[in-house]
Every structure is written in C-alpha cells, then in structure tokens.
Structure 1
Amino acid sequence: MMNLTVHAPAPADIEVDLASLLGDCARMVPHWTAPDRIVSAPVSPSLIHGVTVPPSSARLLDAMADYGD
C-alpha cells in the first residue's frame, strides 16, 4: 500500500490571479470573432404547431406557484 500525503495548496492571491486572467483574455481578443447581428421576425402563433407537453411536465409546472397560479 502506498502512503500518499496530500498538502493543501497555498492560498491564491486573488489580485494576481485576476490580473493574469484579464491579461490572458486581452491576448485572446484578436482570435475571437462576433457573428453579425441576426434580426429575426416574430413568428405568427398560427405557424406554431406540433408542440406537445408530457402530462408529468404539465403537472410539474401546474404545481409551481409562478406558472400554476
């Protein structure tokens, strides 16, 4: 049997870690691209069909105060 000794890590210096994270993020910014804004038109309720809710889910939502009342 092996005798493994585990030592707790030294407390992290939050300011240094945050600064390091911010620096990493700043270096990655040129690699990230944002998609063009896509504006979708509202869908008419008459076009929405075929949605079914299992009875157990309906009962669950009915029992929740935010949804059932």
Structure 2
Amino acid sequence: MVVVCDRFGQTQAKQDFERSRLQYDEAVRNKDYQLAQLGISLSAIEDKLASLPIVRSLTILLPK
C-alpha cells in the first residue's frame, strides 16, 4: 500500500499533531494545578489537626 501525502495532507497532519500536543500540555497543567491544590488542602487539614489538644498529646506519645 502506498500512501501519498500532498502538501495539504502534511499541513493538516502537523496541525492535528500540534492541537493534540497543546491539549495534552493543558491536561498536564490542569493535573499539576489540581495536585497543588490538594497539597494545600492537605496541609491546611494537617495544621488544623495539629492544633487539636488530643492530637497534640498523641503526637507526643507516638514515636517518630
């Protein structure tokens, strides 16, 4: 089977590839942002837990 690509086909393929790459890059940025937000949320939860007297007393008793 022989595939002949004309100039238009090559241009279209490049545009499709670039569009896919940009969509992938955007998806990666979105996931990175979500992970950062999750990290911030977890830090806030840890801070709140650490301020509870019962948790503070338990952390003193537990080995690290």
Whether TM-score is above 0.5 comes out as no
More helix by share: 2
* TM-score (normalised: structure 2): 0.30
TM-score normalized by structure 1?
0.28
